[in-house]
Structure 1
Amino acid sequence: MTQRSQLEEASPASISVGEIRIPDLFRDLPDAVIIADSEQRITWVNIAFEKLFGFSREELVGQSAEQIYENPADYEKQRLGNFKTAKPEIDHNYEMRYKRKNGSGFLTHTTGGPIRDKNGAVLGLFAIIKDISKTRAVEDLLHNLYHISSSQEMEHTAKIQAILKLGCEHFQTESGLISWVRDDTYTILYSYSDLVDVPRGTSFPLGDTYCSEMLRGDGPLACHNAKNSPFATHPCYDMFLLETYIGIPLFVDGELFGTLNFTSADERHPFENGDKEMIKMFAAWIGQQLSFEKATNQLPTPSPAQD
């Protein structure tokens, strides 16, 4: 009997651990699970795999696993190396970049190994795949924030500009702004944008900004598609047509100072709770920088004549 027919005979539906069939064991796991034959032709995936990769099971079964690898060289390495030899000393826990049906790549922690018959022959392969791209992105972001804030070579304005740039990259927006809010006046102190330079001291009535809505609450406010939200009738939308906004109150030495916000004329995918937590961290780092500037009389708050 060939290896291929052995796997078909001992298909995932009939391979058992005790009285539990493998699909029953893996079906409801929160992490993606894939089972393939020894030539890496896909024979079964669980629901979490379908959700993570964007493929239906029907689109995958019988197809080569090559289509889920971001880098074809990684597929060849797995096909000809790690799983083909299936040596016991191989570490079957590793990081791997895969790609979704839409072509977007992502980083994972993968645990994989061979499926053997009673004689030790390799019938197929399995892998449990956990998306760690967001976790790694946050780790990299925190590292970069620390590097900027602790730099002895950058002056404070450059540090704030660099933090705003990081925020734009993280939140996928075009502009980042730090404002000083006094009474009903919103005045820009720092800005970063690839599109337009906003001069320091530029002022608007607070009510004409999305930040006015955010300040009425008690934390971050985010909108990814303003034209289909309550922001569609806001004066800020009429003036600037900003589709994307995420903002937070900015405190310096425990007192409300102004706002931090990131905006874009283009809509984006919905913000997640993690994004709101992340902007809190940006606000804390920037508040620390502004506190230092205040203590050394470098904080460039506008004079009343600029209101």
Structure 2
Amino acid sequence: MDHERFLEQLPVGVFRSTIDGEYLYVNPALVDLLGADSRDTVIERGSPPFYAEPGSREEFVDALEEQGNVLGHEVRIEQLDGTELWGSMSAWLTTSDGRSIIEGVIEDISERRRIEQESVERERRLQQLMDSTDDALWLFDAEWQETLYINAAYEDIWGQSTESLYDDPKTFLEGVHPEDREAVQEGMATLSAGESAKLEFRVNPDEDFQRWVSVQGSPVVRDGEVIRIAGYTREITDRKREQRDKAAYTASLNEIYEITTDTEREFEQQVDELLTIGADYLGVPYGFLTDIDVAAEAGGDGTQTIVTSVGSHEQLQSGASCPLGESYCRTTIESNDLQAIHDAPAAGWEADPAYERFNLGSYIGGSVYVDGDLEGTVCFAGSAPRDEAFSERERALVWIISQWVSHQREQQRRRKELRQRNERLQQFAYIASHDLQEPLRMVSSYIDLLDSEYGDEFDEEAREYMDFAIDGADRMRNMIDDLLKFARVESEAEQPHSVDPNEAIDDVLDDLQLSIKESDASVTVGELPEVRADPNQLRQLFQNLVANAIDYAGDEPPEIDIDAENGINGVLFTVSDQGIGIPEQQQDNIFQVFTRGTRDDGTDNTGIGLAICQRIVTRHGGDIWVDSEPDEGTTFCFTLPTTEGTA
């Protein structure tokens, strides 16, 4: 195969031309490369028109004349139809018949150039992304001696320049909180040893190390050896603040729960402690509970009075008062909702009478309502404005405290009203029973005298009338005695203390032994734990319930079971029988005074015994209820406080 046939078969373009660009020879591959239909078309056109960029051929020829050859020169080529492609051209300058000849080869590198361009574009976009991200991306050598890459986000997070880190890779440690540096250095050693690391620590001395970051790093390993350390740093200050706030909120709620459920604390002490918790959580120095009198005189103003407070503000001390129009609380009342002012001057309060009087830069308060009537406010305040508005958690905590105060005030009102009603009832019962005793004693005496003097002369009808009179007097005496017992539950009560119920049961069974014997009753007593109670009233309670079970036993001998168990609300006692039961429609009223049941023998009780039981249990802080079905028996249940004092 001769030289020309070899060139004809090469897959790359081969040409020979003059310095001026006149083609002397082109092979088929070059004809295809230039998009021509024949060799003659290419030769007639010459080489200059195929250069897509003006001047690029002149540069190529100049280099060729200067150097004698050009290798791998990349040039844009324009095909006959206008399509551009990239070619890599190598050429040599030779001489033939006294003139300079260019001999060269051209290879289509369009695909390679496209791939390279895409790679460059990807790198550009990646660099753009790395430069624009809020995370600091970094790359160090394995020994932390050279910074290979750091993006601009580092400067904002750390408060240091990227140049300083390139100059000295370990300067970033100066931006780490002193208390966290040891942990960071340990993490660096871990990465250099070939293990990944994740750390959270504080940075940026310019901001007093208030910024928190999360750092994740991984070693770059080649052939089992760490050659690079790569990772990123993400600011997590907001997340840390949220975690701290959530933890503080939860801790405050736990303290509030502990305080508000402690029955040993007085209300005033509970309020003071809640105000302290609220002020600490909100980061303000003052907390106060007010009474509000909105019933102003004609043309006047209502009044705000401080009930109790925490903090040293002179005008926010207990007993201090001011016109309602000069208080911050008036805005809480007017809005009928939580009122929160985090920056009073910015909100236009500087000219307000309340600001002039108290000079408070921040305030938040909730209303206290009792039975729908405004009674006061729970407020927290600071002399300085806050940087940020009160958060939802902060508002919720103030609302919780104000709602609890409202509830407690309502309970206080209920207890006061109940105490007054009980006192009036007790006074009435005592006076009524006491005043009835003397005329009843006189009536009974004359009945007895009449019976003893003239009883033998009574006919059958008169005897029946006399028996009715004697029985009525006896029942009246029993009712008065029970009414006095009802009144004395409060007036003659002992202070509750630790009592063994088994001893009380023994006394009751001794007192009722005649009734037990006559009715052939059986009484079973389980293990009864000690309780805090008035021993006399505990005996009265059991005696009434056991006597009630005997009275309503029915035709069969009474079977009475007394038992108890410790529960979450104290000790739960049960007194059960197998008697006639109580109709459902009577069970709701069974503990009311003068509510009577009817025994099988047709006689009535006084209707006070179970009311006395309820009064005794209530005085001890317990509950009493009944579970009964007609002809299925009855179980009375009641709770009493344990010896630890819980009820």
TM-score (ref. length: structure 1)? 0.70
* Equivalent position amino acid for 2:398 in 1: F
- Paired-residue identity, %: 17
Change (3 A) 1:190 1:58: farther
More helix by share: 2
Question: Computing the radius of gyration over CA atoms, which structure comes out larger, 1 or 2?
Answer: 2
1:146-185 alignment runs, 5 A limit: 146-151=254-259, 152=262, 154-183=265-294, 184-185=302-303
Which deviates more, 57-66 or 177-186?
57-66
Runs of 5+ in structure 1 lacking a partner? 1-13, 301-307
Q: CA deviation at 1:200?
A: 3.2
Q: CA deviation at 1:114?
A: 2.8
Change (3 A) 1:91 1:138: same
Are positions 1:292 and 2:408 aligned together? yes
User: 2:362: which partner in 1?
Assistant: 244
Are positions 1:37 and 2:140 aligned together? yes
User: 1:105: which partner in 2?
Assistant: 210
* Equivalent position amino acid for 1:295 in 2: Q
Aligned positions, number: 275
Which deviates more, 226-235 or 113-122?
113-122
Tell me the distance in 2 between the aligned counterparts of 1:181 and 1:143.
31
User: 1:69: which partner in 2?
Assistant: 176
Q: Give the conservation status (yes or no) of the 8 Å contact 1:163–1:282.
A: no
* Equivalent position amino acid for 1:65 in 2: F
Q: Give the conservation status (yes or no) of the 8 Å contact 1:112–1:127.
A: yes
Change (3 A) 1:148 1:213: closer
Q: Give the conservation status (yes or no) of the 8 Å contact 1:55–1:101.
A: yes
TM-score (ref. length: structure 2)? 0.36
How large is the Cα RMSD of the aligned pairs? Answer: 4.0
Q: CA deviation at 1:238?
A: 1.5
Tell me the distance in 2 between the aligned counterparts of 1:112 and 1:61.
18
1:197-212 alignment runs, 5 A limit: 198-212=316-330
Tell me the distance in 2 between the aligned counterparts of 1:226 and 1:60.
44
Tell me the distance in 2 between the aligned counterparts of 1:154 and 1:36.
61
Q: CA deviation at 1:44?
A: 2.6
Which deviates more, 115-124 or 134-143?
115-124
Cα deviation digits, residues 8-56 of structure 1 (max 9, x gap): xxxxxx9x99986266168445xx5453635397933539x83xx5847
Q: Give the conservation status (yes or no) of the 8 Å contact 1:250–1:256.
A: yes
* Equivalent position amino acid for 1:43 in 2: I
Q: Give the conservation status (yes or no) of the 8 Å contact 2:362–2:385.
A: yes
* Equivalent position amino acid for 1:159 in 2: Q
User: 2:52: which partner in 1?
Assistant: none
Cα deviation digits, residues 86-120 of structure 1 (max 9, x gap): 2676552x5433456231535x4724113637665
Q: Give the conservation status (yes or no) of the 8 Å contact 1:245–1:261.
A: yes
User: 1:145: which partner in 2?
Assistant: 253
User: 1:121: which partner in 2?
Assistant: 227
Cα deviation digits, residues 112-152 of structure 1 (max 9, x gap): 11363766522344222312123322322322332232243
Tell me the distance in 2 between the aligned counterparts of 1:224 and 1:140.
20
Change (3 A) 1:100 1:182: farther
Change (3 A) 1:261 1:292: closer
Which deviates more, 283-292 or 206-215?
283-292
User: 1:5: which partner in 2?
Assistant: none
Q: CA deviation at 1:219?
A: 3.9
Change (3 A) 1:24 1:255: farther
Cα deviation digits, residues 170-209 of structure 1 (max 9, x gap): 3332211222333232222231104548443432222111
Change (3 A) 1:65 1:118: same
Q: Give the conservation status (yes or no) of the 8 Å contact 1:116–1:122.
A: yes
Change (3 A) 1:123 1:226: same
Tell me the distance in 2 between the aligned counterparts of 1:60 and 1:249.
57
- SS of 2:236's partner is strand
Q: Give the conservation status (yes or no) of the 8 Å contact 2:365–2:380.
A: yes
Change (3 A) 1:213 1:299: farther
* Equivalent position amino acid for 1:282 in 2: V
Change (3 A) 1:252 1:141: farther
Tell me the distance in 2 between the aligned counterparts of 1:171 and 1:54.
30
Are positions 1:230 and 2:333 aligned together? no
User: 2:333: which partner in 1?
Assistant: 215
Q: CA deviation at 1:254?
A: 6.6
Runs of 5+ in structure 2 lacking a partner? 1-118, 295-301, 417-647
Structure 1 ranges of 4+ moved more than 6 A: 16-19
* Equivalent position amino acid for 2:190 in 1: T
Q: Give the conservation status (yes or no) of the 8 Å contact 1:167–1:262.
A: yes
Q: CA deviation at 1:236?
A: 1.2
- SS of 1:270's partner is coil
Tell me the distance in 1 between the aligned counterparts of 2:131 and 2:285.
42
Q: Give the conservation status (yes or no) of the 8 Å contact 1:209–1:236.
A: yes
User: 1:188: which partner in 2?
Assistant: 306
Tell me the distance in 2 between the aligned counterparts of 1:261 and 1:219.
12
Q: CA deviation at 1:58?
A: 6.3
